[in-house]
Structure 1
Amino acid sequence: MEHQGARYYYSRLTDREKSAYDALCKGLDCFASSVSLGRISPTRMQSIVESVVYDNPGYFYFDQRRIAAMQTLSGITVKPEYCNTPGEVRLLWKQIQAQLDAFMHTRIRPGMPPLARQIEAHRWMQQHIRIADGADTREQHSVVGALVQGSCVCEGFAHAYKLLCDRLHLASILVTGTARRPDGVVEPHAWNITRLEGSTAHIDVTWDTALGSGAYDYFNLTDAEIRADHCFDGGLYPPCTEKRFDYFTSNRLVAKDPAQLGRLIAAQAHKACFSVKLAFPWDASLLDTCGFPVGRIRYNQAQNVLFFQTDTP
């Protein structure tokens, strides 16, 4: 597998743990039946395994949930479980690379700014990957579900986004935590943090995809913004405090008051769909005075975002 992407979790390990991380990667590359991790703390073994998986989406064939470990005189030895044969992995990786190549060829131009590249990755994923429903499979949690089968759950989206960012030379981190759905149900969830020109921000492609094509409600949010409906251990990740690359700020789609909302609606009404971030409390009665044309409206209370889908031909 390729190891050219950002390795945030690796950077958080001690020197001894980094050696164990490297040893595990080397073992997974050659489908080793056992790998010596050296003298590491048994309580840290799982963190090292997770670091390898979160940093490297290409290890989709390694089942971290079924890894066995033994304490020996020389340290800890693990026995990885593989979900695919080497031949199957080569074929799947070829299919994944073909998808990445197609994305790069059709969406990315030389000299594109980092934000423009990130937006294209977000749009491409919304258009090519659907949220899996029905029976939960292992592939749905990996880049295989996302980029080969075109259907996955949040973990698959997060791994695929990380892999796209690796190709785009954008530093990205897979984030794990929980999220509260609009119906109030809290469930385990995965999303990403991206660094653009020294600024870090959260992006949840899964939830934007669930909201529909053209949604940017969860594109480059601060810690405070995403905590409205996501929960995570802030001590594990770099702080996200700037709104420098927030989609709505970058595109001047933030309404500070109802009058500005009306002006933004008038300016965007020719589009099939558009969103506006509100910097004031929303009241549905304001629609009567904002001049929205005939169409559908969606309001995201947690992020205070209005999405408009017009009936414009």
Structure 2
Amino acid sequence: MMKENNYYYNQMDKRQQKAYQAMRTGLCSLAPSFPVPWLETGELNDIYFRLRLDHPEIFWTSGFRYRYYPDSENVELMPDYLFKKNKIMEHQKAMEARVRKLAGQAEKLDEKGKELFIHDFICQNVRYDKLKKAYSHEIIGPLGQGVGVCEGIAKAVKILCDTLGIWCMIALSGSNPEKGIKYRHAWNVVRLGGTYYHLDATFDNTISKEHGIRYDYYNLSDGQIFRDHEPVIWKVPVCDDGAHSYYREKKLTFTKYEDVRKRSAQAAKKGREFVFQWRGGYLTKEVLKELLAILEEEAEKQGKYALLSLNWPQAVLRISFEASVPENQIVVEEQNPELAEGDMPQNVEEAE
């Protein structure tokens, strides 16, 4: 069941909504140009962008140019289409079939099961596109080519949530050059049982490689997500429930050293890795040193060596027990590909 959620449209005033509707009509008809109520360039750009966040099924355009005529109440907007018209129609049919097929695998699950299915599909089947192909910003990248950047991944999550009846929108944060974050970042907010949560499948995707799927950014509160995410550009629903993140739901959060020792002893004995989140106060260097000492002791009892991979902002630790001394005992994970690569430039021009 397709559940359309026009979140950004509902935040706009009547003038903006009129431009939004004109853009949607023109883009869906694949018109080479069409009239849109006159607004400042920045405002037109924001509406164009937010329209495509509300409607990820409109995947065939990346930007626009426009002409303004004196004394006219409209501008002539000319979209930049990624493909020729007949190719767009082919891709539309393919994407509709792809979304239906994927959603069909989860339609009998409950709300939480559907969300988990979507998250795990992204982590298992999509590769972050460091080359930044244009289609990687749209659903056709993750769902058609198996590659995507944060914008395309967030759009893929949304269209699958829409199709499966889960309320979902796309959050967008700004850049922060001082931190080396040159471009915007996109993720999702979902509503489960009437409560809103942040879900960043891109961040989990980048650390869910050969060691299995990670859930460091699964159903987080505002306080949790903004430990390592920049503030949002446009308002999103308040996410104030921090008690239902994945690790807390699965009882993989520890507040006492003795609990870490007990679990690490079991894992070391079986030769299995395990992931947990530390909630016993701030994860300071002193706390980390104490945790590492415990892990080393339990590894040594089994004739092994402890290797710790750390997501420091979220205080999530992945522990494995190695037969030989690891080159680096602690690996700090880089879960944000945009820090180095960049992701979402703007592309709007006024025509000559």
* Normalised TM-score (structure 1): 0.86
* 2:313 alignment partner AA: A
Tell me how far 1:235 sits from its aligned partner.
Answer: 5.8
Identity of aligned residues (%): 23
Tell me if 1:225 matches 2:224.
yes
Does the 8 Å contact 2:138/2:151 carry over to 1?
yes
SS for the counterpart of 2:58 is coil
Report Cα offsets for 1:116-142 as digits up to 9, x if no partner.
211111111111101112x33211111
Partner of 2:344: none
Paired amino acid for 1:52: L
Structure 1 residues 17-68: Cα deviation after superposition (integer angstroms, max 9, x where no partner): 222212211111111233223365655322221221111111111122x331
Q: How far off is 1:272 after superposition?
A: 5.5
The one-letter code of the counterpart of 1:186 is: I
Give the match for residue 124 of structure 1.
121
What's 1:92 paired with? 91
1:68 aligns with 2:63: no
Q: Is the 8 A contact 1:122 1:205 kept in 2?
A: yes
Kept in 2: contact 1:214–1:273 (CA 8 A)? no
1:156 shift after superposition: 1.3
Query: How far is the alpha carbon of 1:243 from its aligned partner?
Result: 1.8
- The question of 1:145 aligning with 2:141 is answered yes
Matches within 5 A, 1:9-88: 9-38=8-37, 40=39, 44-64=43-63, 66-71=64-69, 72-88=71-87
Give the distance between the partners of 2:2 and 2:107, measured in 1 at CA.
24
Aligned match of 1:300: 311
- Corresponding residue SS for 1:68: strand
Cα RMSD between the aligned structures? 2.9
Residue correspondence of structure 1 range 203-242 to structure 2 within 5 A: 203-212=199-208, 213-233=212-232, 236-242=235-241
Distance in 1 (CA, whole Å) between partners of 2:155 and 2:139 is 6
Q: Structure 2: how far apart are the matches of 1:262 and 1:160?
A: 40
1:253 and 1:180 mapped to 2: Cα distance?
A: 32
1: CA distance between counterparts of 2:294 and 2:191? 39
Partners in 2 of 1:268 and 1:104 — Cα distance? 36
Q: Does the aligned pair in 1 maintain the 2:33–2:79 contact within 8 Å?
A: yes
Superposed counterparts of 1:161-172, under 5 Å: 161-172=157-168
State the distance in 1 between where 2:20 and 2:40 align.
Answer: 13
Aligned to 2:291: 286
For residues 253-283 of structure 1, the C-alpha deviation after alignment (integer angstroms, 9 at most, x for no partner) is 1111112223444677769654211112342
| CA shift digits 1:92-150 (9 cap, x unpaired) | 223323332332343x152x2322211111111111101112x3321111111111111
Q: Structure 2 counterpart of 1:85, which letter?
A: K
Aligned-residue offset at 1:178: 4.5
Helix, strand or coil: the match of 1:230?
coil
Is the alpha carbon distance of 1:296 and 1:250 closer, same or farther for their aligned partners in structure 2, counting shifts above 3 Å?
same
Deviations 1:193-226 (A, max 9, x none): 1111221121211111111231111111111212
3-state DSSP class of the match of 2:12? Answer: coil
Residue equivalent to 1:185? 180
Q: Which structure ranks higher in relative contact order (CA pairs < 8 Å, sequence separation ≥ 6)?
A: 2
Distance 1:286 1:245, change over 3 A: closer
Q: TM-score, normalised by structure 2?
A: 0.77
| Contact residue 42 and residue 76 of structure 1 kept, 8 A | no
In 2, the alpha carbon distance for the partners of 1:138 and 1:200 equals: 31
1:276-296 residue CA offsets vs partner (Å, 9 max, x unmatched): 111123424424435467564
